[in-house]
Amino acid sequence: MAEKPKVAFFDFACCEGCQLTVIDTLQDHLELVEAVEIVQFREAMSEKGEDYQIAFIEGSCTRPQDEERLKKIRERAALVVALGACAHTGGINALKNLQPSLQEVRRYVYGDCWEWYDTYPARPISAVIEVDAFIPGCPIDRGEFLRVVKDLLLGKKPSIPDYPLCVECKLKENVCIFDRGGTCLGPITRAGCGAICPTYGDGCEGCRGPIPHPNENAMKDVLAEHGLTAEQLMAKMTMFNAYYH
């Protein structure tokens, strides 16, 4: 039998919720733990192997020193996977990019000692290094993580849905959030989470990023029908996609 592929997990600016979701997923799928050799997962283990083929990276690039670390990981890994919204789109970290000045942001949070805290606009890791695959979402979806890992182990390019969330929401027979008086980014957001937020009564917040070719006219019709504007929708979209704003 061929040697097990060596896998490592890394984190940059993030909440580590995606790695926790990985831990939660693995506990139900121990066969996956058997299929690979995890050489580095700081949150869960002391070992720190530097020999790995697949690198999962959670978090955004927010400092000059992050670039250096990202490039090192890229050099060592055959495959780099962006794990979750922060790595994939910049995620919630990019909200700070919308503030008028980052110097003011640093002063606001750290007062007199603001200069000690280095930062620049948050970016997805693909802005710094080449990324082979991504697992979207805040946090990632457990089922999708399993599918992507299995695809990678089989040498296939992982397939991530490029149709809108509404498809999954309809299949779940949810009452449309717009019809319930809410605002939802489902019509333009990438599916794959099982429309979990609308299922629990909340409008989609776009954490999985926009689909490649959104049907803008249909979206405008929905907005017009419910007395909403494109500006309102775009303001909501900035929660997880401010990097592209």
Nearer to another protein, 25 or 53 (CB): 25
Q: Does 51 bind another protein (CB under 8 A)?
A: no
105 by DSSP, 3-state: which?
A: helix
Long-range contact set of residues 174-183: C-beta below 8 Å, sequence gap at least 24: 174/198, 174/199, 177/202, 177/203, 177/204, 178/222, 178/225, 178/226, 183/228, 183/232, 183/233, 183/236
Instruction: Please provide the distance, in angstroms rounded to a whole number, between the alpha carbons at the two ends of the chain.
Output: 49
Residue 46 near another protein by CB under 8 A: yes
Among 55, 57, 70, 106, binds another protein (CB under 8 A): 106
Least distance (Å) from another protein to the CB of residue 112?
7
What's the DSSP call for residue 92? G
Specify the length of the chain in residues.
Answer: 245
- Placement of tokens 């733990």 in the chain: 33
> Which CB sits closer to another protein, 168 or 205?
205
162 touches another protein (CB under 8 A): no
Residues 6+ positions from 89 with CB-CB distance below 8 Å: 124, 136, 209, 240, 241, 243, 244
Among 205, 237, 241, 243, binds another protein (CB under 8 A): 205
The correct pick among 7, 8, 13, 169 for binding another protein (CB under 8 A) is 13
DSSP 122: -
Nearer to another protein, 62 or 89 (CB): 62
**Contact range with another protein by CB under 8 A, out of 107-115, 123-131, 148-156, 221-229:** 107-115
User: Residues 217, 183, 221, CA angle at the centre, nearest 5°?
Assistant: 20
The binder of another protein chosen from 78, 98, 175, 230 (CB under 8 A): 98
Q: Rule CB under 8 A: is residue 228 a binding residue for another protein? A: no
Estimate to the nearest angstrom the gap between the alpha carbon of 225 and the chain centroid. Answer: 31
Binding site for another protein (CB under 8 A): 11-21, 23-24, 27-28, 30, 33, 38, 41-48, 59, 62-63, 66, 91-93, 95-96, 98-99, 104-106, 108-113, 116-117, 119, 138-139, 196-197, 199-202, 205, 239
